Amino acid sequence: MAENKKWLPRWFYQMASPRWCYEFCGRLLPWFVVAAVLLLGAGTAWALAWAPADYQQGNSFRIIYIHVPAAILAQSCYMLMAVAGAIGLIWKMKVADMVAKSCAPIGATIAVLALATGAIWGKPTWGAWWVWDARLTSMLVLLFLYLGVIALHSAMESENTAAQATSVLALVGLVNIPIIKYSVEWWNTLHQPATFTLTEKPAMPMEMWLPLLVMVIGFYCFFSVSLMLRVRNEILHRERRAGWVRTLLEKA
Partner 1 sequence: MNPKRKQRLLLVLFIVFGVSIAVGLTMYALSQNINLFYSPKQIVAGEAPVDTRIRAGGMVVDGSVKRDPNSLAVSFDMTDYESTVTVQYTGILPDLFREGQGIVAQGKMDSSGIFQAVEVLAKHDENYMPPEVAEALEAAGKMPQPEAEVFNK
φ/ψ of 54, rounded to 5, equals: -80, 150
State the Cα–Cα distance between residues 146 and 112, nearest whole angstrom. 10
Is residue 215 within the footprint of partner 1 (CB under 8 A)? no
Candidates 49, 59, 132, 251; binder of partner 1 (CB under 8 A) is: 132
Candidates 9, 10, 49, 56; binder of partner 1 (CB under 8 A) is: 56
> Near partner 1 by CB under 8 A, which window of 18-26, 38-46, 55-63, 71-79?
55-63
Question: Nearest Cα to 106, choosing from 74, 79, 139?
Answer: 74
> Near partner 1 by CB under 8 A, which window of 1-9, 104-112, 143-151, 231-239?
1-9
Is residue 30 within the footprint of partner 1 (CB under 8 A)? no
| Shortest reach from residue 127's CB to partner 1, in Å | 3
For 169-207, b where at least 16 C-beta lie within 10 A, e where not — what string?
Answer: bbeebbebbebbeebbeeeebebeebbbeeeeebebeee
State the Cα–Cα distance between residues 234 and 58, nearest whole angstrom. 45
All residues at 6 or more sequence positions from 62 whose CB lies less than 8 Å from its CB, including other chains? 47, 48, 51, 53
Is residue 128 within the footprint of partner 1 (CB under 8 A)? yes
Instruction: Give the torsion through C-alpha atoms of 231, 233, 238, 244, to 10 deg.
Output: 100
Candidates 81, 95, 106, 134; binder of partner 1 (CB under 8 A) is: 134
Contact positions with partner 1 (CB under 8 A) in 144-163: none
Question: Nearest Cα to 63, choosing from 74, 51, 75, 73?
Answer: 51
For partner 1, which is the closer residue by CB, 24 or 130? Answer: 130
For partner 1, which is the closer residue by CB, 215 or 235? Answer: 215
Is residue 9 within the footprint of partner 1 (CB under 8 A)? no
Is residue 190 within the footprint of partner 1 (CB under 8 A)? yes
Is residue 123 within 8 Å of 129, Cβ to Cβ?
yes
For partner 1, which is the closer residue by CB, 158 or 188? Answer: 188
Is residue 7 within the footprint of partner 1 (CB under 8 A)? yes
For partner 1, which is the closer residue by CB, 59 or 158? Answer: 59
Is residue 105 within 8 Å of 237, Cβ to Cβ?
no
Contact set with partner 1 (CB under 8 A)? 1, 4, 7, 52-57, 61, 64, 86, 89-91, 124-128, 131-134, 168, 171-172, 174-175, 179, 186-190, 192-195, 203-205, 207-208
